[in-house]
Homo-oligomer: A and B are copies of this chain.
């Protein structure tokens, strides 16, 4: 295990800290709930550990996220945004594209701007509860009530705004490039 460009352990640590903060949990509280040492959690969150799967799994439970969400290698995903909580439900890596299924949750009035994704990326949103307005690039805004679906090109900046009742939805992101970095 020589020198590495990517440090998956450090990235997972940052994600743990982000989700913990988003949940309003103290480090001690999460350590207690997960049955993990306080010191271990501190060093893990600050990237000074290379955690084992057991440890991450123990943390995923109290944090309320699937284990894979802590391991996520898609960069630029903001899980630490008070206006947008994301949980990846599924990842499907194919030869020519990657499909991700995310659960989105936004507080009432929450607003989130997303930068452009990779060229050819498309998003499909199913609003489960509440309502949401999507602004895909310069196109006309889409007003989505509970139950509605929308689809747009995500390779340009776009924005979501939750309605007065907040929003819960499922977002399906299709990226046309293989997600697998070469060995």
* A183: chain B residues within 8 A (beta carbon): 33-34, 61-64
CB closest chain-B residue, reference A88: B68
- What 0/1 pattern do residues 1 to 39 of A give for CB contact below 8 A with B? 110101111001000000000000000000001111000
How many copies of the shown chain assemble into the complex? Answer: 2
CB distance from A1 to the nearest CB of B (A): 6
B66–A91 contact, CB under 8 A? yes
Residue of B with least CB distance to A58: B1
Q: Tell me the chain A residues, 69-120 only, with Cβ under 8 Å from chain B.
A: 69, 71-73, 75, 87-94, 98-99, 101, 103
Please classify the interface of chain A as helix (H, G, I), strand (E, B), loop, or mixed, using the class held by over half of its residues: mixed
State whether A99 and B128 are in contact (beta carbons under 8 Å apart), knowing that A50-B52, A147-B174, A170-B172 are contacts in the complex: yes
In the complex, A180 Cα to B87 Cα: how many Å?
A: 24
Instruction: Tell whether A51 is near chain B: CB-to-CB under 8 Å.
Output: yes
Contact A126 B126 (CB under 8 A): yes
Q: Cβ of A53 < 8 Å from any Cβ of B?
A: yes
The answer for the CA separation of A8 and B62 in the assembled complex, in Å, is 16
